[in-house]
A and B are shown apart, each in its own frame.
Chain A
Amino acid sequence: MGEPLFDLWIYLSTTPLLGLTVTLAAYIGADALYRRTGRHPAANPVLWAVLLLCGLLWITGTDYGTYFEGAQFIHFLLGPATVALAVPLYAAVKRAARSLPAAIVAVLCGAVTASGSAVGIAWLLGAGEATLLSLAPKSVTTPIAMGVSDRIGGLPSLTAVLVILTGILGAVIGPPLLSAVGIKGWMARGLAVGVTGHGIATARALGVHPVAGAFSSLAMGLNGVATAVLIPLVLTLLTG
């Protein structure tokens, strides 16, 4: 690398502009790939943008703190975006009003199963405390899951990646699994993939059937609230 080019790198790597720009560029690229594959869950743009950026940080020897100085401007918007989730949740609740009591019970059972089984399996296999706490909120939509993880002493960034992987799993294995065991109603199917795979599965369900999509959004919203309330409560009870 020539002297002036090196000086430019030294200058740019210290401004927030670079971190912000590469984040947007990586996401736009990953999103284009996602569209090209017909929105296949395995081409999830968040996953690929994250992998791309991790690779870039590694190649350039940039530490995460320096990168985050720029990326924090995007990260900040997670808070207001979480608040904004109230709007689609309200729309889903209103649309599903007639089936709401059954849906709430089903989502509660699903929420307990999601956290309980993930933590239980990892614990049996000898995972450490940080992993267990980061796994607990993994079936909830990312902004809520990261908030919960942070609150209970997990690693929010690990939770973010686990949430995305869970969403992909839920979207890919959910529909064939439900068909195999004879669960055929759109409400039950939508709710099941929504609790397991939050926004990623909901995006998929919306493309399959409007009723499945509506119940998947409902499940995602209710599960977010249920999990955020239940996990700290259970932890408080367990630890005294």
Chain B
Amino acid sequence: MLGYLTLLLVCQLIGESLAVVLAIPLPGPLIGMAVLFVIVFAADALGARGVVDGTTEAADALLRHLSLLFVPAGVGVVLHLALIREEWLSITLALIGSAVLTTLVTGWVMQRLGPAEPPAGGLDRSRD
């Protein structure tokens, strides 16, 4: 477990370093996520079950309470109350309009391009 938690940190370290050294405009942890994705993919392809399971266990431990990790930064919204008071209407309309459009566009494209699906309905849990 400790080893795989370290692996996550090493991936992040690689990501942050690459972002700085190569001046990639991506968040370092996201590059780290790509690195870990390749590692898990390779381990799975090579049949290294132990690595896949160990990584999954460490990731689950961190992701189980993922929501908690947003709280400290979220509280930082107190620093921007003046901005929100001034622009709340445009922010609200942008959020609602964008949510409606995004849902429709994604659903329509997938319905056109994806494999034919039986319509949703009933509680058919056997097709997972």
Contacts and interface: CB of A to CB of B under 8 A. Distances in A.
To the question of whether A and B form a pair in one complex, the answer is: yes
Interface residue SS majority, chain A: helix
Given A121-B90, A157-B80, 20 more contacts: A23-B71, A23-B72, A54-B77, A74-B68, A80-B12, A84-B33, A86-B11, A103-B114, A113-B98, A122-B90, A126-B90, A127-B87, A147-B26, A151-B27, A158-B76, A162-B91, A177-B104, A184-B120, A192-B110, A225-B30
Interface in B85-115: 87, 89-91, 93-111, 113-115
Contacts of B83: 128, 130-131, 155, 158
Interface of A: 23-24, 26-27, 31, 45-47, 49-50, 53-54, 57-58, 64, 67-68, 71-72, 74-75, 77-90, 94, 98-99, 101-103, 105-107, 109-110, 113-114, 117-119, 121-122, 125-128, 130-131, 135, 138-139, 142-144, 146-148, 150-152, 155-158, 160-162, 164-166, 169-170, 173-174, 177-178, 181, 183-189, 191-193, 195-197, 199, 209-212, 214, 219, 224-225, 228-229, 232-233, 236
Interface residues of B, number: 82
Contacts of A107: 106
A188 B117 contact: yes
A85 B101 CA distance: 26
A209 B123 CA distance: 8
B62 interface: yes
A218 B59 CA distance: 17
B100 A125 contact: no
B48 to A, nearest CB: 14
B33 to A, nearest CB: 5
Interface string B58-77: 11101100111111111111
Nearest to A68: B72
A67 B73 CA distance: 11
Contacts of B94: 117-119, 121-122, 125, 127, 135
Contact of B68 (A24, A67, A109): A24
Given A81-B62, A99-B115, A89 B78 contact: no
A188 B128 contact: no
A178 B107 contact: yes
